[in-house]
Amino acid sequence: MSKTNSSPADDVLDLERPLNALATSPDFRGPVEQVEGEFCNDHFALIYDAPADQFAAVVPFLRQGLERGEQCVYVTDKDSVDAVRTALRDGGIDVEAAVASGSLVVETFQNTYLKNGAFDVDEMISFYADVIDEVNAEYEGFRLAAEMSWILESDVAIEETMTYESKVNDLFDDEDAVAVCQYDRNRFPPEVIRDVVRVHPHLIYDDTVCHNFYYTPPEEFCGPNQPTHELDRMLGTLRERTEAKTELQERERYQQRQNEIIADPDRSFEQKLDALFELGCERFDLDLGGIARVDPDDDRFELEYVSDEHEHLEPGAELPLSETFCALAAETKAVADVTDPESEGCDGILACREFGIRAYLGTYVEIDGGPDRSVAFVGESTRDEPFSEDECEFLRSIGQWVTYELEQHERERELERTVDRLETSNERLEQFAYAASHDMQEPLRMVSSYLQLIERRDEDLSAETREYLEFAVDGAERMRAMIDGLLQYSRVQSRGGPLEPTDLEAVVADVRDDLQLRLAETDADLTVGDLPRVTGDPEQLRQLFQNLLDNALTYAGDEPPRIDTTAERTSDGDGWTISVRDEGIGIPVAEQDRIFDLFDRLHSREEYAGTGIGLALCQRIVERHAGAIRVDSEPGEGATFSVTLPAADEA
């Protein structure tokens, strides 16, 4: 049975089934062009150059039939029966079982085409008609694979053969039957193969299944006006190929221009939009294009962009969506078009009735995170021709770009809103931290002063009371130090100085002077290499390196501290990495993230003094400078703190 557009039902045998068998066969390696609406019948030709090519197509063709419960018949020369069975067996078909069940028959052309000693077209067609009726009464269908080399040995005229092929087309077209006729290209004259090609809508050649645009219907090939029909077909083919080539060139030209507009880094979004809609108007031969916010649930349409001036269509104009052609695209969530509102029954809507729109091509675009849009082009004249699939695809590509750009803009706006909220929140937190810590200073000083006054009345206090007072005074002092650290931490962003070219050698030299007493007391060896100029806040950078060097002195262990400070350019050339390396007690790998947390300490106060703010403050200073800080360390092997800072612009 012939099919045009739809897939075959499970119980129908037609050309699409063997095409699917070839497409899924590992032995058949070439492309398979599906029917997809093209004319076909259930009879196609296999043209081969070698037996391997022949059976690469025939084996999956027959194997599928056997699996479906059809009777499969293979017609060959009487001297080739064993060779055919071997080829089918090698292809994975259980020949013996299939032959024993009657589902596979390997017959000779002497017992079929030439069974009466000569070939007769009508007798052969009648014979196959009877066979199909008998087979379909017992099997799911009839599948025929026939070698056609008998034509060469039987003095059969080529006209008679082609007449037979044409009648086979008609016979198989109305039955649960499908056939493949096999032609050895090395044995048949070229003119015969040429005619074979002409009378088969579908061909198999060189591991390729293709729809045959050289196909000539039987009534034209065999009729008295065959030359006229062939000339018309040839001229029509030339015209169609030229039209197809022109359409392809036009599609590629517009696609290239579209890509150039989208990829142009010097154009803004609005400029790209203008250029794309101008290109679309040219492509579709319409007057103007536009983008509108649409909401089908609320029947809302609001114009957002128009590519040209129009009496009624301008940005900000609002209409019921149902009074616009965009309702068609919104209904299907896809491309929709109108070429003649009157004939299509939509001339009563406002856009046509009062705005004079007579042609429309638009698509619906769903925007993640924002209102959906309609991208459309309109014209004031009807169109004689419908919009082509190429034109619809061009519109889809514009819609896809608009979708991407609008979603990107929506994400950027949301990011900006989030950044604004975070900045506002951070400012409030910094203000709160500063106010809280500043306000705590005075009562804390009062507590500390009164404790010290009580402590001075030594003669009236017991030893236990004096010990408690020492604890209280120490706690108050530690609290004061923590509040001072918190004040510094909260002021990094809000009270920092300008970021300017800064000489790190001068900064570290000042820090070295401040630490001179500790360096002498600990017998420390501090080596400072050549340091660069960076962009930063000099006071904050001084605090940064003072904390790092102070830590290196504090956690040196039992040996005199050995500290190296070096610098190297980053791989991208935009910054410097300054490293402070010591040979102290080191830091366990599992604890290295904790050291930058506020008030987090790895050691008790009895082991090492401190507030737990120093490295957190370093990290905050580095982040303000758009840099990074990290530590590399092993317990007992020392630690290296590496700080990346932006390089100063070269003068």
Q: Which residue has the tokens 């109305």?
A: 174
Last residue within a domain, chosen from 338, 359, 387: 387
Asked whether residue 68 falls in the same domain as residue 180, the answer is yes
Best-predicted range by mean pLDDT (208-217, 236-245, 416-425) = 416-425
**Spatial separation of the C-alpha atoms in residues 19 and 23, rounded to whole Å:** 6
Q: What is the pLDDT of residue 208?
A: 80
CATH code where residue 208 lies: 3.40.50.300
Cα dist from 609 to 360, 524, 597, 613, 645, whole Å: 78, 19, 17, 12, 29
Asked whether residue 72 falls in the same domain as residue 187, the answer is yes
Residue 192 has pLDDT above 60, yes or no: yes
Secondary-structure breakdown of the chain: helix, strand, coil percentages, each rounded to the nearest 5: 50, 20, 30
In a domain, 394, yes or no: no
- Higher pLDDT, residue 240 or 604: 240
Asked whether residue 448 falls in the same domain as residue 345, the answer is no
Q: Helix axis angle, 158-173 relative to 190-198, nearest 10°?
A: 30
DSSP, residue by residue, 455-511: HH-GGGS-HHHHHHHHHHHHHHHHHHHHHHHHHHHHHHHHS----EEEEHHHHHHHH
Asked whether residue 348 falls in the same domain as residue 466, the answer is no
Q: What is the pLDDT of residue 222?
A: 57
Residue 184 has pLDDT above 90, yes or no: yes
Q: What is the pLDDT of residue 562?
A: 94
Domain that holds residue 556: 496-646
Q: What is the pLDDT of residue 30?
A: 45
Asked whether residue 415 falls in the same domain as residue 564, the answer is no
Measure the CA dihedral 544/545/550/556, to 10°.
120
Helix (H) or strand (E) holding 20: helix 16-24
Determine the average pLDDT of the residues in 76-88.
90
What are all long-range contacts of 64-69, with beta carbons under 8 Å and residues at least 24 apart? 64/17, 64/18, 64/20, 64/21, 65/141, 65/143, 66/93, 66/98, 66/103, 66/104, 68/13, 68/17, 68/140, 68/141, 69/103, 69/139, 69/140
Q: State residue 214 phi and psi, 5-degree precision.
A: -90, 0
In a domain, 311, yes or no: yes
Residue 228 has pLDDT above 70, yes or no: no
> pLDDT tens digit string along 303-348?
999 999 898 899 999 999 999 999 999 999 999 999 999 999 999 9
Determine the average pLDDT of the residues in 171-180.
78
**Spatial separation of the C-alpha atoms in residues 173 and 179, rounded to whole Å:** 10
> pLDDT tens digit string along 282-307?
999 999 999 999 999 999 999 999 99
Domains in the chain: how many in total?
A: 5
User: What percentage of the chain reaches a pLDDT higher than 90?
Assistant: 41
In a domain, 7, yes or no: no
Q: What is the pLDDT of residue 211?
A: 74
Residue 613 has pLDDT above 90, yes or no: no
> pLDDT tens digit string along 239-290?
777 777 778 888 889 889 999 999 999 999 999 999 999 999 999 999 999 9
Asked whether residue 63 falls in the same domain as residue 117, the answer is yes
Q: What is the pLDDT of residue 98?
A: 95
In a domain, 401, yes or no: no
Q: What is the pLDDT of residue 7?
A: 38
Asked whether residue 345 falls in the same domain as residue 327, the answer is yes
For residue 647, give the DSSP letter: B
In a domain, 525, yes or no: yes
**Spatial separation of the C-alpha atoms in residues 140 and 351, rounded to whole Å:** 57
> Is 601 exposed, middle or buried, given 0-12, 13-18 or 19+ CB atoms closer than 10 A?
middle
**Spatial separation of the C-alpha atoms in residues 281 and 267, rounded to whole Å:** 20
Determine the average pLDDT of the residues in 204-221.
72
